[in-house]
Amino acid sequence: MAYERFETPGQAAPPRWRHYWKLMRADRPIGTLLLLWPTWWALWLAAGGLPPLWTLFVFTAGVWLTRSAGCVINDYADRWLDPHVKRTKDRPLASGAVSGRAALVLFAVLMLVAFALVLTLNALTIGLSFIGVFLAASYPYLKRYTHLPQVYLGMAFGWGIPMAFAAVQGEIPVIGWLLYGANILWSTAYDTWYAMVDRDDDLKMGSHSTAILFGDLDLVIQGILYALFLGAMALVGVRAGLGVAYWAGVAVAAGLIAYEFWIARKREREPCFKAFLHNNWVGAALFAGIAAALALG
C-alpha cells in the first residue's frame, strides 16, 4: 500500500525505518528480556560464573537478532489474522506499512547476521543453530494447526540454553536439558497470559492457543505450570550445588508469580497483559540468584 496513507493533515509521515523498527518489536524490549534471562542463566551455569566475554557478546547480540527475526516472521505468518485483532491491527504488516516481501528480506538479514556471529563458536554450537533457525521460522504457523503454540514457543525461546552449554563446555550436560525443560514450562505459562489477552479475538478468527485449550481451567493449569517450573528450577539449583543466594532468588520469583495470579484473577485483558510483562522480573530474580550464588562460591 502507498506510504502516504500514514500521513495526516499537517503531519509528515514517520520515517520508513520506524516501521521496520516496530516490525522487529525493537520498541518493546520485553520479548528480548524474556529470551535473554534464560540464556544468561545457562551461560553463567555453564561457565561457573562470568562466561568468556566474546561468548557473552555473541549470545546477547544473538538474542536480540533472533528475537527480532522471530517477530518479523511471526507477523508475516499472522498477516491474515492481525488486522482483525484489536491489539495487533496497527502492526506494520497488518496496516500495510511494510510489504510481505520486505519483511522476508528483513528476516533473512537478521538471521544471517546472527549466524555470522555463531560461526565464531565451536562446531557443536553451529550445528545446534540450524535447529534454532527451524524452531524460530516454524513457530508462527503452529497456531493454525494446534492449540499448543505456547509450548513450541518455549522450545524456540529456550534453544539458546543448550547452545550456551555447547559453546562454553563443548557438550550439553543433563543440567542443560533440565534448564531447557524448565524454560519450556515457564514460557508456556507466561505466553498463556499473553494468549488470554487475545482469546476472544482468536476464537472469532479460528486461531488456536493454550488459553483457548485450557478454557475455564486456565488459572488452575497456569498454577500447575508455574509450580512445575519452580520445581524444575529447584532441581537445577540442587544439581548445580548453588547456595543460599540462589534459593533467595527462587523465593523472590515464587512471590512474583503469586502476584501475577492476583492481578490476573479476573482474566481481564489488561491485567493478563500486565501479568505477562511481570515475568521479566521473575527471570531477573532467578538470574540474580544464580550469579550471586556462583560469585559467592
Please give the C-alpha separations between residue 197 and each of 91, 187, 264, in angstroms, as whole numbers: 16, 16, 10
pLDDT one-digit tens code per residue, 223-276: 999 999 999 999 999 999 999 999 999 999 999 999 999 999 999 999 999 999
Whether 191 shows a pLDDT value over 70: the answer reads: yes
CA 34 vs CA 21, 51, 158, 183, 239: distances in Å:
19, 20, 10, 10, 24
| The three cell numbers locating residue 48 | 561457573
Res 208: pLDDT = 81
* Nearest partner of 84 among 196, 205, 203, 194, judged by Cα: 205
pTM of the model: 0.88
pLDDT in tens, 113-157: 999 999 999 999 999 999 998 988 887 777 677 788 888 888 988
Phi, psi for residue 154 in degrees, rounded to 5: -60, -40
> Given a cut of 60, is residue 26 above it in pLDDT?
yes
Say if residue 4's pLDDT is above 70: no
Q: What is the pLDDT of residue 21?
A: 84
Q: How many Cα atoms sit within 13 Å of 83 on the Cβ side?
A: 8
Quote the crossing angle between the two packed helices 218-240 and 174-197, to the nearest 10°: 160
Task: Assign 9 a pLDDT band (cuts: 50, 70, 90).
Answer: very low
